[in-house]
Amino acid sequence: MSSLNILVMGAGAVGSAVGGFLCLGGHRVTLVGRDPHMTAIRERGLHIGGIWGQHHAQELRTFTSVAQVPRERFDLVLITTKSYDTRDAAREVLPLLSEDSLVISLQNGLGNVEAISEVVGQHRAVGGRLIFGIEIPEPGQVEITVYADKVMLGSPWRKVDLARLEAVAAAFTEAGVPTEATLEIGQFIWGKVLYNCCLNPLSALLEVNYGELLEHSETREIMASVIEEIFGVAQAKGVSLAWRSPAEYQQVLFGRLIPDTYAHHASMLQDVVRGKRTEIDALNGAIARMGAETGVRTPVNLALTQLVKVKERIGKRRAAQHPLSGT
């Protein structure tokens, strides 16, 4: 695929890493994120380390707001903000889109691509599933910590031509980010939700890595209940999952996905430690809301949502009392 003009909106760990690889792959990449990370990249370039080797991207343009971005049209916009900022992010990038631009969600949770489509139209909105771990050890650096599977891209409404998505996926893959296009993106997004709902809240509440959750019968039982509830909600909503039963998915989670990402700590844990809002409402909270709407009981997902919200408030209070502790 010829060189693309790409904007990354919300360039934290995920956006910086994906944008960095695309830049190294010969594409023109603009990052919109927060300081001091953006300033460090502007001054010294982006260093990418971890399990995919050592790389240095020097040609990235960086800004701290969309208002600073030159008024030009972008071929691709990658939305990598927190889920609760999705709609605002889509509105901000709307003036930078042409009729043929694609806006891709590479986020956690349910409802992101739908929120984007309400702003930019279904013909430009693309859902993405990204399932590997990335951290920012210090400004100007990202580290790939764990990898579970390739990125998947697709249009939930099939309003974007599959051949075009395959070309975008090929561009990602050639740049070093393994990616595939699919006609069943909903299955992959719900699969990521299953993974996140099982691991993120427990990792945040107990302050442990994913692997530790596999070592205790109590946490395994909680995860099994989360899975059962999500399957019940999916069935009530008419969502087709990639696994035939909760037991089949549990075997995949316990047997492959958690071992493959054993040492990873949830970004939700990083959020609560730093006194920030989490994405719990787009994960277990979304499952609890859908359960209430469809009459499916989701007591475990609801309890995890409530506990994480308390943890958020505790983390916010601690961060205010000790402002350097979360940096």
Neighbours of 298 (CB within 10 A): 25
Number of H helices, E strands in the chain: 13, 10
Q: Which of 63, 13, 114 is nearest to 103 (CA)?
A: 114
Who's near 169: CB < 8 A, 6+ residues apart? 151, 153, 179, 180, 181
Q: Which of 132, 188, 123 is nearest to 161 (CA)?
A: 123
Dmax (CA) for the chain in angstroms is: 55
The yes-or-no answer on residue 192 being catalytic is: yes
Q: What are the structure tokens assigned to 137, written together? A: 């050890």
Q: Is the bond leading into 36 cis (omega within 30 degrees of zero)? A: yes
Cα distance between residue 237 and residue 227, in whole Å: 15
Q: Which of 38, 116, 82 is nearest to 267 (CA)?
A: 82
Who's near 135: CB < 8 A, 6+ residues apart? 13, 142, 143, 145, 270
Residue 47 bridge partners (DSSP): 56, 141
Residue 126 sits at φ, ψ, to 5 deg, of -130, 130
Q: Which of 68, 127, 124 is nearest to 100 (CA)?
A: 124
Cα distance between residue 105 and residue 126, in whole Å: 6
Among 82, 150, 192, 311, which one carries the catalytic annotation?
A: 192
Q: How many CA atoms lie within 13 A of 286 on its CB side?
A: 20
Beta strand spans in the chain (E): 5-9, 28-32, 46-50, 55-57, 61-63, 74-79, 97-105, 125-135, 141-154, 179-181
Active site residues: 192
